[in-house]
A and B are shown apart, each in its own frame.
Chain A
Amino acid sequence: AQKITQTQPGMFVQEKEAVTLDCTYDTSDQSYGLFWYKQPSSGEMIFLIYQGSYDEQNATEGRYSLNFQKARKSANLVISASQLGDSAMYFCAMREGSDSGGSNYKLTFGKGTLLTVNP
């Protein structure tokens, strides 16, 4: 079974509108972390936002917010006021287990969602 599921291969949004990218996860660990990364066509991976399993409030970073619904095991990324530069591949990733050492920090990535922002 996939640990990270991103059901939207592609999404389109009009400039200045908000968009939600879906991510569901599967883990039996109580302690875990969820990350979103952006990958432009040039290939680099850009960290956007993090949500810890024990965090009670949804994470926010500028125009990015994470809609964390623990019971449903979902961690959707919301991008507000979309910009043309937001067009990229977006990956949801999970770190399982507590952060007790480097080897426990490996990430499992979803298949990604290609976001296209239209002018």
Chain B
Amino acid sequence: GAVVSQHPSRVICKSGTSVKIECRSLDFQATTMFWYRQFPKQSLMLMATSNEGSKATYEQGVEKDKFLINHASLTLSTLTVTSAHPEDSSFYICSARDTTWWNSNQPQHFGDGTRLSIL
């Protein structure tokens, strides 16, 4: 079945550091990937839609310069949290859908998420 790999699974770093998170679709192509953020005991909030070969589409209130998204290939999207601060600490999770199947039954498949802790 469709598998999405997300790396790293956990990051602990100092304030001011930039952190890159990778999201890969392992056995299918994904022209579109999605990045979500989840605070403890809360729901997933969509941050941005990552489009292969073009600029990402950010949701209202999400800082584009803070959360840089690059979708350089059909199987890889990266999220870089620039100059991270403690308030950026959260669970970040990506998702992708096999876009070779033009069928709305195909669900989004999620990576295992990245727990980011900024000290």
- Give me the interface of A with B, judged by CB distance under 8 Å: 33, 35, 37, 42-47, 50, 52, 91, 95, 98-99, 101-103, 105-112
| Complex interface residues of chain B between 98 and 116 (CB less than 8 A to chain A) | 99, 102-105, 107-113, 115
- Contacts A43-B113, A44-B113, A50-B107 given; does A102 touch B43 at CB 8 Å: no
Q: Which residues of B contact A44 (CB under 8 A)?
A: 110-113
Range class of the B interface residue count: 20 to 34
Using A45-B44, A106-B46 as known contacts, list a sample of 4 further A-B pairs with CB atoms less than 8 Å apart, ordered by residue number in A.
A91-B43, A111-B42, A111-B43, A112-B43
Q: List 30 A-B contacts (CB under 8 A).
A: A33-B105, A35-B107, A42-B112, A43-B112, A43-B115, A44-B110, A44-B111, A44-B113, A47-B108, A47-B110, A52-B104, A52-B105, A95-B104, A98-B104, A102-B31, A102-B32, A103-B32, A103-B49, A103-B51, A103-B57, A105-B32, A105-B97, A105-B108, A106-B34, A106-B46, A106-B49, A108-B46, A109-B44, A110-B43, A111-B43
CA distance A112 to B41 in the complex (A): 9
- Interface: B78 (CB within 8 A): no
Cβ of B95 < 8 Å from any Cβ of A?
Answer: yes
Least CB separation from A59: chain B residue: B105
| Bound-state Cα–Cα, A10 to B102, Å | 36
Contacts of A37 in B (CB 8 A): 110
Report how far A98 CA is from B102 CA in the complex, Å: 11
Give the CA-CA distance A50 to B106 in the complex, in Å.
Answer: 9
In this complex, what residue of B is CB-closest to A6? B43
**Most chain A beta-carbon contacts within 10 A, residue among B97, B102, B108, B113:** B108
A99 near B104: Cβ-Cβ < 8 Å = yes
Whether a CB of chain A sits under 8 angstroms from the CB of B91 is yes
